[in-house]
Every structure is written in structure tokens, then in C-alpha cells.
């Protein structure tokens, strides 16, 4: 019998094994959920790529896709074929690499955040029919 106020002998190994597994599962779920809620997965339906990156590389960039702010986790490649977006590997679950062709990029908007201004190009909204006459974009 265990003395009072002591943990069972299996508890520490269970925590040491279980916590990393639980943490990895929760991390993966949150990354996947952000890709769904933020709009990255919708963009990937149209712009996902398996081609290796080419062109000028800009790592550690900040950007926004839909509702999700990707702070310093984007790698952007600028090439003749378009703008490629990759997410840092720790956050990549649910975030396929995107290659957005230049003709699909338009509408530069200026954003101001705490004295910092940036021009952000936006990908054209892909129209999807929901019902006759109704459309929905990104």
C-alpha cells in the first residue's frame, strides 16, 4: 500500500510521456484550426504548389491571410512565376506552400500598425457559387 499523500509510482512516467504527446496534439490542432479559420486552406485549394521554391527569398516575414496574422513565420519567394508563401515548419500543419501567380495579385493596400506602414498586395478573390447568383470569395 502507498503511504498517504504520495503519488502512485506510474504517475511521473505517465506525465513525462503523456505531456509531450498531448502538447504535440494540441499544437497540431491549433495550427490546423488557424489554417481553416484564417483562410489559408481555402487559398491552398487554388494556389497550393509542390514545386521547389525559386527566386529571391525573404525569410521571417510577417503577413496576414484572412483572419490569421502570421508574425515573422512566413518565407516569401519572389519569382517570375509569382509569389510563393511558406510557413515556418513548426507552424506548417494545415499550411501548404502557396504559389500565387502575378496576374492574381492586385489591390495594394496601406496598413498602419503602431507607426509602421506597409503596402500589402491582396490575391484576387476566387468566386465560388453557393447558389444561383450567389458568390463567395476569400
pLDDT at 5: 72
Residue 42's closest CA among 82, 1, 83, 100? 100
Residue 53 C-alpha cell reads as 521554391
pLDDT at 125: 45
Average pLDDT value for the chain: 81
Q: How many CB atoms are closer than 10 A to CB 81?
A: 15
Q: Residue 60: is its pLDDT beyond 60?
A: yes
Distance CA 21, CA 128 (A): 39
Give 24-50 pLDDT, tens digit per residue.
Answer: 999 999 999 999 998 999 999 999 999
This prediction's pTM: 0.70
Helix (H) or strand (E) holding 19: helix 11-38
The domain ranges of the chain are 35-136
Q: How many CB atoms are closer than 10 A to CB 83?
A: 19
Which of 19-28, 99-108, 127-136 is predicted least confidently?
127-136
Distance CA 23, CA 2 (A): 30
Give 116-130 pLDDT, tens digit per residue.
Answer: 555 555 554 443 333
DSSP character for 55?
S
Over its C-alpha atoms, the chain yields an Rg (Å, rounded) of 21
pLDDT at 113: 62
pLDDT at 123: 53
Sheet holding 98-100, edge to edge: 56-65, 68-79, 82-87, 98-100
pLDDT at 135: 37
Amino acid at each position: 500500500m502507498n503511504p498517504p499523500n504520495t503519488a502512485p509510482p506510474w504517475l511521473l512516467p505517465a506525465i513525462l510521456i503523456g505531456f509531450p504527446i498531448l502538447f504535440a496534439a494540441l499544437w497540431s490542432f491549433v495550427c490546423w484550426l488557424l489554417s481553416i479559420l484564417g483562410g489559408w486552406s481555402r487559398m491552398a485549394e487554388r494556389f497550393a504548389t509542390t514545386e521547389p521554391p525559386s527566386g529571391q527569398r525573404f525569410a521571417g516575414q510577417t503577413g496576414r491571410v484572412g483572419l490569421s496574422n502570421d508574425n515573422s513565420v512566413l518565407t516569401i519567394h519572389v519569382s517570375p512565376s509569382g509569389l510563393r508563401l511558406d510557413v515556418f515548419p513548426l507552424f506548417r500543419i494545415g499550411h501548404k506552400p502557396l504559389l500565387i501567380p502575378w496576374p492574381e495579385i492586385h489591390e495594394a493596400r496601406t496598413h498602419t500598425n503602431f507607426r509602421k506602414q506597409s503596402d500589402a498586395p491582396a490575391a484576387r478573390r476566387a468566386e465560388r457559387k453557393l447558389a444561383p447568383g450567389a458568390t463567395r470569395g476569400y
